[in-house]
Structure 1
Amino acid sequence: MTGEQLRVRCEIVDGVARVELARPEARNAVDLPMCLQLRQAFEEIDADDGVRVVLLSAQGPAFCAGADLKERTDKDASWVRRRRVASFAAYSAIEQCRRPVVALVHGAVVGSGGEITLAADFAIAAEGTTFRFPEPHWGTVGATQRLQRVIGKRRAKELLFINRPLAADEACDLGVVGRVVPGEDLLDTGTEIARTIAKAPPLAIALTKRAIDLGAETDLDRGIRIEMSAIEQCLADGGWREGVNQFRTRDRAASTSTEEK
């Protein structure tokens, strides 16, 4: 794969996988090669037991300007259908990754950029970030499923029907992003979050993610059963004892520090 063809960059350091959308000259518009590379990157991360957490960001002034509609010129409906299936597979690979995925978004987040953000476990936005879901106004259909599951059916309809921009603060209020930080602090904030997650026992984090995701698909009684199954798996692994010991060590250290004051 040549440098010109590279749409997604991935680097793994100390258990943190940094995945970057790397098509800044096109404002990271999503085309077929990006879909395929994004899926491949997350499938490889998911298979790497050394990875603890994933930071998903983008190069250039925009996180993602949406789908690259230029590539559909002179294509037939069959091609467009296959292209959409490829995008769904990429979003699914992000969502189903066993590692926590944190999106760090900035600038414009449009259409497919919103899908990528919503496929992550949660997102942090730089001040000035704006979201837009213009699919119906582009003569297509998209963002009808993840968006409504995050912000509710009626709000999703409003954004999709009207195509109005969603500012970072409102996106935070609606739960699209977890917090908004100054642009210059975005990467540092993501790095600190990644370090915090990486310190936790990996099995407990993975099972917590799975229990939340599976529990969201069912009622509370079945959800409790899912959580109990995860607890049993943790107990069988035995790693929970290390967590208890670490807590006791920190608690003793805190108590000593208080007494010295």
Structure 2
Amino acid sequence: MGVSTSSPEKGPGTNGIAVVTVDFPPVNALPVAGWFALADAVRAAGRDPEVRCVVLTAEGRGFNAGVDIKEIQKDGAGALIGVNRGCAEAFAAVYDCEVPVVAAVHGFCLGGGVGLVGNADAIVASEDATFGLPELDRGALGAATHLARLVPQHLMRALYYTSRTATAAELHAHGSVWRVVPREQLPAAALELAREIAAKDGQLLRLAKAAINGIDPVDVRRSYRFEQGFTFEADLSGVADRVRDRFGRDGG
């Protein structure tokens, strides 16, 4: 359980790919420490001079179910501050990773999961993958910044306000998912794209990543932190606890 980094191929030398895997049973709802561990793993992989592409993947039922709501309910403001900082660190680590990041998504990709894949360079998804922000049902706000990188503006708003999800096929139609494959083919499909990227010159890839980030029309770090301020407002006003309590009673 936790966050681990591996190479998809054994033997002498390196293929230039690092696979960062998240595994927090039962649904990959990450605790505060998990978000920071993920940030550290992605940053370390990107700093490795032998790595030219990072694949971000997960074990279990789904890619990511967001934050651990039970931890926030138990520990209160301290956990909320921690998880907000942890999410910001993890999202930024993916965005600022020195080499391209390919997200391999299966099952549910919710809340913080959208923050991760929205900041990735490319997304490969299984046919059963769904993407969404159930934040309004969880007493929180945030990651509209990242959902807006996956779907057009008005669809983002409708999905956000309703807490509905979009399928991998729908995101593929919008151009944000590179490829959709049967679930059993997901690891191979993600590695296929990663190998094509990693075949390029490593130094030039790092320059390309920095250049592309530099021309991004939205500062994702600043816009996400702006969103998080409203999460704190919801918490301080009591509305967040009211919604989270209802979520817990309804079997969340």
TM-score bin, normalised by smaller chain: 0.7 to 0.9
Are residues 1:9 and 2:10 paired? no
| SS at structure 2 position matched to 1:189 | helix
Q: Does 1:181 align with 2:176?
A: no
* Paired amino acid for 1:11: S
Amino acid at match of 1:147: L
Corresponding residue for 2:108? 108
What CA distance in whole angstroms lies between the structure 1 residues aligned with 2:107 and 2:149? Answer: 24
Which structure's CA Rg is the greater one? Answer: 1
Q: Would you say how many aligned residue pairs link Structure 1 and Structure 2?
A: 212
Q: Is the 8 A contact 1:124 1:180 kept in 2?
A: yes
Q: Does 1:51 align with 2:51?
A: yes
**1:29 shift after superposition:** 0.9
CA distance in 2, matches of 1:206, 1:150: 23
Indicate the structure whose relative CO is greater, using CA pairs within 8 Å and at least 6 residues apart. Answer: 2
How far is the alpha carbon of 1:33 from its aligned partner?
1.6
What RMSD in Å do the two structures reach over aligned CA positions?
Answer: 1.6
Maintained 8 Å contact 2:55/2:194: yes
Secondary structure of the equivalent of 2:204? helix
Q: Which amino acid aligns with 1:19?
A: V
2:194 aligned residue? 194
* Misfit runs of 4+, over 6 Å: none
CA distance in 1, matches of 2:176, 2:197: 20
Percent of aligned pairs sharing the same letter: 32
The unaligned stretches of length 5 or more in structure 2 are 219-252
Counterpart in 1 of 2:250? none
| Contact residue 106 and residue 128 of structure 2 kept, 8 A | yes
C-alpha distance in structure 1 between counterparts of 2:117 and 2:191, whole Å: 17
Q: Compute the displacement of 1:153 (Å).
A: 2.6
2:55–2:101 CA contact under 8 A, matched in 1: yes
SS at the partner of 2:75?
A: coil
How does 1:175-254 map onto structure 2 within 5 Å?
175-217=175-217
Partners in 1 of 2:159 and 2:93 — Cα distance? 25
Deviation at residue 144 of structure 1 after TM alignment: 1.8
The C-alpha deviation readout for 1:10-37, integer Å capped at 9, x for no partner, is 11352210100112x2211121121111
> What residue in structure 2 maps to residue 18 of structure 1?
19
Q: Larger % of helix: which?
A: 1
Corresponding residue number in structure 2 for 1:145: 145
Aligned to 2:148, the other structure's residue is in SS state: helix
Is the deviation greater in 58-67 or in 172-181? Answer: 172-181
| Mapped partners of 2:165, 2:2: distance in 1 | 26
| TM-score, normalization by structure 2 | 0.79
Please name the residue that 1:134 is paired with: 134
Q: Which residue of structure 2 lines up, in the alignment, with residue 94 of structure 1? A: 94
**TM-score, normalised with respect to structure 1:** 0.76
